[in-house]
Copies of this chain bind each other. A is one copy, B any other.
Amino acid sequence: MDALARRGSLGMSVMVREGITPGSGPGHLSLFGYDPTRYVIGRGAPSALGVGLELECGDVAARLNLATFDGGGRVTDRRAGRPGDAEAARVVDRVQKQLRAPAGVAVTFVPEKEHRVVLHLRGKALGGAALADTDPLETGRPALPVAAQDEASRPTAEIVTDVLEQARRILADEPQMNGFLARGFAMFERLPSMEERFGLAGVALAKYPMYRGVARLVGMTVPAVPESNEDTVTQLERCWGEPDLYFLHFKDTDTRGHDGDFGGKVAAIEEVDALVPRITALGPSAIIVTGDHSTPALYREHSWHHVPVLLVSEWPRPSAPEFGESACRMGHLGLVHATDLIPLALAHAGRLVKYGA
């Protein structure tokens, strides 16, 4: 990446607005050129798309966490000890089989990854999806009620309450994974595609369902789940050609940031770094290296800080011998909004015509 920086342009980007910390949904929308304050989606919709559910307009989805509750109904572990995928799938299957769906609604649970589960609802009995999260965000407290935030969402709140209560009863004998916390309720509405907005056909290569989901939401093609970072690049090599834009997602830098593991974050960057020559060898006319938010290892959470951007093309204004926050702060791209990155890449790739004569 340092070699790319020497022949590229550097800058910083604002993901949403100054001071605003993006969740992964808004962060990726912004990278894909969709202002996340205009295109508002709950986490449920991209998660549902990410696990391969075919959403229809009016469907409601939410992100569930498998969690541990004590005898008094208080949450003792918000992630149920971070179960393995197979363990989680087993209890999700129990719930799916024993649940009696409320009248007029089809209910589907799909395991996402570890403690993460997607809840999908479809049917005429549903109302809106303006529901508050039930996650109390700390242990020792009971789950919050499924609160409707507008009149139209009351029927949905009742249905979800019923479903979550049934799940608690079904899982009552489980030692750890004995209930769900729900957040990111969303009603699915189709977004205008990248093809419609930018004339771009895109391919997204990402391991995690969430990012695959956001990519599908904007009309990108999402091939098979890569098995590793290396396989992500192998898939890129395999499908290289027709599409205009490829999105490659590498998760580990964020994960190590959440862990507060600075050394691990460096190692995660170095692992991706080693794959860069295989990407440049394909001869893309522009490459952007960036993130959908900062996750400082000291802060251990997503943050509002500006995100470094590296843009490589035949037409750069290089300014530094390396890629990093300090170099990017002084770079020629300056401070741009993340939704400007695709237009910038298109310009650098010679894909935009002059505005006016």
Contact = CB atoms under 8 A, between A and B. Distances in A.
A19 B334 contact: no
A343 B41 CA distance: 22
Interface in A319-357: 319, 325-326, 329-332, 334-337, 340, 343-348, 352-357
A304 to B, nearest CB: 4
Contacts of A335: 334-335
Contact of A184 (B41, B329, B357): B357
Given A340-B19, A356-B43, A357-B43, A329 B325 contact: no
Contacts of A334: 12, 306, 329, 334-335
Q: What class of interface size applies to chain A in its complex with B?
A: 35 or more
6 contacts: A16-B355, A19-B344, A20-B343, A21-B352, A184-B356, A317-B325
For A23, A334, A355, A356, the residue with the greatest tally of chain B CB atoms inside 10 Å of its CB is A356
B343 A18 contact: yes
A247 B315 CA distance: 30
A40 to B, nearest CB: 8
A50 interface: no
A63 B22 contact: no
A352 B20 contact: yes
Contact of A20 (B27, B331, B355): B355
Given A21-B355, A298-B315, A304-B347, 7 more contacts: A20-B343, A25-B356, A25-B357, A40-B356, A42-B356, A302-B354, A329-B332
Given A335-B334, A347-B304, A23 B326 contact: no
Interface in A14-62: 16-27, 36, 40-43
Nearest to A63: B357
Given A18-B344, A334-B306, A36 B329 contact: no
Contact of A357 (B19, B23, B319): B23
Given A354-B302, A355-B36, A340 B17 contact: yes
Contacts of A184: 356-357
A299 interface: yes
Contacts of A19: 340, 343-348, 352
Contacts of A301: 354
